[in-house]
Amino acid sequence: MAACHSICRRTFVVALYLRAAALAALCALLHSCLIWEAVFPKSEDDLNAELLGLALLASACRPYTPGLPPNTPIPPQPAENCTTPERAELGRHLFYDRRLSGDESMSCASCHQQGLGFTTRAARPNGIAHDAFPTGETHPRNSQSLANVAYFSRLTWANPAFVTLEAQAAAPLFGASGPSTIVELGLSNEGYLDKLRNDPRYLELFRRAYGSADISESRIRRSLAAFERTMLSFNSSYDRFLRGETGAINASAIRGANLFHGETAECFHCHGGFTFSDSVNHPGLPSPELFYHNNGLYLAADYAARPMRERGLIDATGQAGDEGRFRAPSLRNVGMTFPYMHDGSVACNPALAGDADACARDALQLVLNHYMNGGKRDGMGQPHPAVDQTLIRPFGLTAQEQADLIEFLMSLNDSSFLNNPAFSNPQPADSHFGI
């Protein structure tokens, strides 16, 4: 009887553990689903977009990579949405078309301007105006560059749910006001489809891209993704130097490159490789690489005072250790993508705002100061406890070394990318198109 009691008790305890584990798994799944559904409108096309993500690497598409230099990995693309010249051209039109916003005041290009490395100079840009926010809601984060976005293993600053460009496009197009989302372009019905259907240019562009003139929400997102996958930036001064053009960068930039890739500054740990980011994906990798970092920009008390959607990866995972963690952005064209950090809070002296080169160097100096201080701004107390102190710890550079490092970063600007007509507004004389 005693043996039976013991066995029954152990069985009961095991059952409790199993129930607790199942409940925890269910809670985690629900949390993930809530975050996902808060961002995306629920539709059959969204399910299709998720399937696209699962099929990401199993692509049978013929590569379409104009401008890709030799010995550079071919960017992945989903087999269900092969990038073609026709789809990219259609996507370019849609990218600049203000009719893809609720009040026709903004386009994708409004927050992703080509001459600025497909970013914007606003620290945190506003979406379109609507009843609850007459001047538009302010985005919780700075616009990320789209240069080489085809290689990003995850999109946005801190939401691992965004895997494919097709799925991510739904967020700015249809996002609504909520704890973790804002109204960006504010599409809320199918009126925008009728506007495009009444434009004969789109009937022809869709026919060329998909074999029929049917215009649908899914095809719009696929076309935007196809265009974005062609945004390849591999012709900076530093790229040309690596390809043997010895005079492409000066001696200061060469010294800066050595510092960047050395163990004193250790910049390359988070901004390494051909994308200058440690979150990358291409068919040559056994699996996508993905990392989020807390760089100490804010204290724990700062995040405690911030609303959900401004605290980093924790907003998606619910894990306390993810507070303040964001994906390291690519540094390509970094001399044009200021202000810096996930919230654009590191900006140059306003007196330099009219001089892009001086402004970039001034802001980069502030970033460098932050990291030389071990991940804390001047005057700040102890860094956030989640700061990765194996990578972010105090180090010293001479004034010349600091200037060299900044000179190297400025050599990552790619003027041929920033001015490439293939990425520019396709209809500049038409008022529907613009930033």
Looking at every residue in the chain, the average pLDDT score rounds to: 87
Q: Which of 168, 195, 202 is nearest to 184 (CA)?
A: 168
Stretch among 256-270, 325-339, 347-361, 367-381 having the lowest mean pLDDT: 367-381
Mean pLDDT throughout 114-121? Answer: 98
Asked whether the predicted pLDDT for residue 291 surpasses 70, the reply is yes
pLDDT bracket for residue 376 (50, 70, 90):
confident
Confidence (pLDDT) at 292: 96
Asked whether the predicted pLDDT for residue 47 surpasses 90, the reply is no
Residue, of 298 and 13, whose pLDDT is higher:
298
Torsion angle, alpha carbons of 101, 104, 105, 111, to 10: 30
Confidence (pLDDT) at 348: 98
Confidence (pLDDT) at 380: 65
CB of 164 within 8 A of CB of 177?
Answer: no
Confidence (pLDDT) at 377: 61
Which residues are paired to 126 by β-bridges?
138
Confidence (pLDDT) at 44: 40
Which residues are paired to 293 by β-bridges?
326
Q: Distance between CA 135 and CA 138 in Å, rounded?
A: 9
CB of 99 within 8 A of CB of 191?
Answer: no
pLDDT bracket for residue 53 (50, 70, 90):
very low
Q: What is the pLDDT of residues 399-410, one digit of tens each?
A: 999 999 999 999
Confidence (pLDDT) at 27: 34
Q: Which of 137, 119, 55, 76 is nearest to 330 (CA)?
A: 119
Mean pLDDT throughout 349-378? Answer: 93
Mean pLDDT throughout 271-285? Answer: 95
Residue written as tokens 């990318």? 417
Q: What is the pLDDT of residues 211-247, one digit of tens each?
A: 999 999 999 999 999 999 999 999 999 999 999 999 9
Please provide residue 289's backbone torsions phi and psi, each rounded to the nearest 5 degrees: -95, 135
Confidence (pLDDT) at 180: 84
Residue, of 22 and 87, whose pLDDT is higher:
87
Q: Which of 427, 73, 75, 424 is nearest to 225 (CA)?
A: 75
Confidence (pLDDT) at 391: 87
Confidence (pLDDT) at 384: 86
Asked whether the predicted pLDDT for residue 273 surpasses 70, the reply is yes
Confidence (pLDDT) at 379: 61
Q: What is the 3-state secondary structure (H, E, C) of the chain?
A: CHHHHHHHHHHHHHHHHHHHHHHHHHHHHHHHHHHHHHHCCCCHHHHHHHHHHHCCCCCCCCCCCCCCCCCCCCCCCCHHHCCCHHHHHHHHHHHHEHHHCCCCCCCHHHHCEHHHCCECCCCCCECCCECCECCCCECCCCCCCCCCHHHCCCCCCCCCCCCCHHHHCHHHHHCCCCCCCCCCCCCCCCHHHHHHHCCHHHHHHHHHHHCCCCCCHHHHHHHHHHHHHCCCCCCCHHHHHHCCCHHHCCHHHHHHHHHHCCCCCCCHHHHCCCCCCCCECCCCCCCCECCEEECCCCCHHHHHCCCCCCCECHHHHCCHHHECEEECCCCCCCCCCCCECCCCCECCCHHHCCCHHHHHHHHHHHHHHHHHCCCCCCCCCCCCCCCCCCCCCCCCCCHHHHHHHHHHHHCCCCHHHHCCHHHCCCCCCCCCECC
Q: Count CA atoms closer than 13 A to 340's CA, side-chain side.
A: 24
pLDDT bracket for residue 37 (50, 70, 90):
very low
Stretch among 16-20, 352-356, 359-363, 372-376 having the lowest mean pLDDT: 16-20
Q: Which of 135, 132, 174 is nearest to 38 (CA)?
A: 174
Confidence (pLDDT) at 317: 95
Q: What is the pLDDT of residues 66-102, one digit of tens each?
A: 889 988 999 999 999 999 999 999 999 999 999 999 9
Q: What percent of the chain has pLDDT over 70?
A: 85
pTM for this predicted structure: 0.85
Residue written as tokens 């616009």? 143
- Two structure tokens written together for 61: 């598409």
Q: What is the pLDDT of residues 158-211, one digit of tens each?
A: 999 989 999 999 999 999 998 888 999 999 999 999 999 999 999 999 999 999
Q: What is the pLDDT of residues 125-155, one digit of tens each?
A: 999 999 999 999 999 999 999 999 999 999 9
Asked whether the predicted pLDDT for residue 352 surpasses 90, the reply is yes
Residue written as tokens 């492409």? 248
Confidence (pLDDT) at 67: 84
- Two structure tokens written together for 41: 């409108």
Q: Distance between CA 206 and CA 214 in Å, rounded?
A: 7
pLDDT bracket for residue 282 (50, 70, 90):
very high
